[in-house]
Chain A
Amino acid sequence: MIEIVSETRCVECNICVKVCPADVFDAAPAGAPLIARQDDCQTCFLCELYCPADALFVDAQAERAPHVREADIEAAGLFGSYARAMGWNRGKPGGADRDPTFNIRAAMPG
Chain B
Amino acid sequence: MPLDLVTDVLVIGGGPAASWAAIEAARTGVRVTLVDKGYLGTSGAAAPTGLGTWWAPTKDGRRATAERRVARSFGVADVPWAVHTLDEAHNGLTQLAAWGYPFPTDDAGERYIPNLRTADYMHFMRRRVRAAGVRVYDHHPALELIVADGVVSGASGIARQNDETWQIRAAAIVLATGGCVFGERVHGAAGLTGDGYLMAVEAGATLSGMEFSAQYGIVPFQTASNKGLIYSWATFSREDGTPIDDNGEDRQVLVARALSDGPVYARFDNVPAALQNDLRVGQPNILLPFDRAGINPFEERFPVMLRCEGTVRGVGGIRLDGDSCATGVPGLFAAGDAASRERLTGAISGGGGPNSAWAIASGVWAGRSAGAFARYVGRHHETRVAQPAGRTRLDPAAVGVVKAEMLPLDRNFFRTGRTLVRSLANLGDAWANLRSAGGLAGVAALRSREAAAMTATARWSYAAALHRTESRGMHRRLDAPAMDPAFARPVGISGLDAMRIVRDEAPLAEALAS
Residues of A bordering B, CB below 8 Å: 17-23, 40, 42-46, 49-50, 59-63, 78, 81-82, 85-86, 88, 93, 95-105, 107-110
Contacts and interface: CB of A to CB of B under 8 A. Distances in A.
B278 A101 contact: yes
B282 to A, nearest CB: 4
A63 B222 CA distance: 7
Contacts of A45: 48, 285, 288
Contact of B50 (A22, A88, A101): A101
Contacts of A81: 288, 291
Given A21-B14, A21-B42, A61-B222, A82 B288 contact: yes
A49 B279 CA distance: 18
Contacts of A49: 119
A20 B39 contact: yes
A75 to B, nearest CB: 13
A16 B115 CA distance: 27
Main secondary structure of the interface of B (DSSP, over half): loop
B232 A108 contact: yes
Nearest to B124: A93
Contact of A93 (B114, B119, B189): B119
A108 B229 contact: yes
B419 interface: no
30 contacts: A20-B38, A20-B39, A21-B38, A21-B42, A21-B47, A23-B160, A42-B187, A42-B189, A42-B224, A45-B285, A45-B288, A46-B119, A60-B288, A62-B185, A62-B223, A81-B291, A85-B281, A86-B119, A88-B119, A96-B104, A96-B117, A97-B104, A98-B104, A99-B117, A101-B50, A101-B112, A101-B282, A102-B112, A104-B278, A107-B275
Nearest to B287: A85
B297 interface: no
Given A96-B120, A100-B278, A107 B272 contact: yes
B190 A22 contact: yes
Given A19-B42, A23-B139, A60-B223, 17 more contacts: A21-B37, A40-B190, A44-B224, A46-B42, A46-B47, A61-B221, A86-B117, A86-B119, A96-B121, A97-B105, A100-B104, A101-B50, A101-B278, A103-B282, A104-B278, A107-B272, A107-B275
B390 interface: no
A43 B107 CA distance: 34
A20 to B, nearest CB: 7
A87 B484 CA distance: 50
B389 to A, nearest CB: 25
A97 B103 CA distance: 5
Nearest to A101: B282
Contacts of A17: 161
Nearest to B230: A104
Interface string B251-291: 00000000000000000001010110011111111001101
Contacts of A101: 50, 104, 112, 115, 117, 278, 282-283
A93 B122 CA distance: 10
Q: Which 10 residue pairs across A and B have the least CB separation, nearest first? A: A21-B38, A22-B190, A44-B48, A60-B289, A85-B284, A97-B102, A101-B282, A62-B185, A62-B224, A43-B224
B380 interface: no
A104 B43 contact: no
A100 B14 contact: no
A107 B24 CA distance: 36
Contact of B115 (A22, A59, A78, A102): A102
Given A42-B189, A60-B293, A82 B233 contact: no
B106 interface: yes
Contacts of A62: 185, 222-224
Given A99-B117, A105-B114, A82 B282 contact: no
Given A21-B14, A62-B223, A104 B47 contact: no
B154 interface: no
Contact of A104 (B105, B187, B221, B283): B283
Contacts of B107: 102-103
Nearest to B105: A97
